Amino acid sequence: DVPVFVDGEWWGVIGFDDYQRITPWSQAEVDALQVAASLLGSAIKRQRSTDELTASEDKFQKTFQQTMVPMVIGRISDRVIVDANDAFAKLTGYSRAEVVNRWASELNLWQNNDEHALHHKLIRENGFIHEFKTTLRKRNGDLGTVLLSATIIRINNEDCLLYTISD
């Protein structure tokens, strides 16, 4: 029998028995069993990590979609909106389908282009913005003063901005 460890903790054992006769195991057989125990431990660790990541992603998605705080996620590399929640749709008048895979400039969300440029500059310098006061244009053309907060997050190995908006 060879112990199986996961993250340095004993998880169980793996072994083989011959019930017909007593046979000494060769060093090659012992080594193969130790490798198998190590691979099993690694597979269990990997599965646990995958399960934890899936649970974390699920928790984020539920929070993102169900919150009453308007939120939008934009990819930094090309500034494309990759997701928006229902609260954002309610605030702006755009459906999620109308904003995903589009640019904020394409939707004419920013009332003041100088403020748009300034907010990007501040994010580049600080990695975030907190309560940046600006005016957004809604789908119907109405203007609304909001406070934007944004922080950099990683999604699919890409830097994105997670915006929260206070109306």
* 120-123, Cβ contacts within 8 angstroms, sequence gap of 24 or more: 123/150, 123/152, 123/161
Express each pLDDT in 132-161 by its tens digit. 999 999 999 999 999 999 999 998 899 999
| 44-70: average pLDDT | 90
pLDDT of residue 16: 79
pLDDT of 82 strictly over 90 = yes
Model-level pTM? 0.72
Measured CA to CA, the distance from residue 20 to residue 43 in angstroms comes to 32
Measured CA to CA, the distance from residue 95 to residue 97 in angstroms comes to 5
Give me the percent of the chain exceeding a pLDDT of 70.
100
At a CB cut-off of 8 Å and minimum separation 6, what does 125 contact? none
Contact 137, 110 (CB under 8 A): yes
Express each pLDDT in 26-51 by its tens digit. 889 888 989 999 999 999 999 999 89
Q: At 118, which amino acid appears? A: L
pLDDT of residue 137: 95
pLDDT band at residue 19 using 50, 70 and 90 as cut-offs: confident
pLDDT of residue 132: 96
Cα distance between the two ends of the chain? 64
| 117-121: average pLDDT | 92
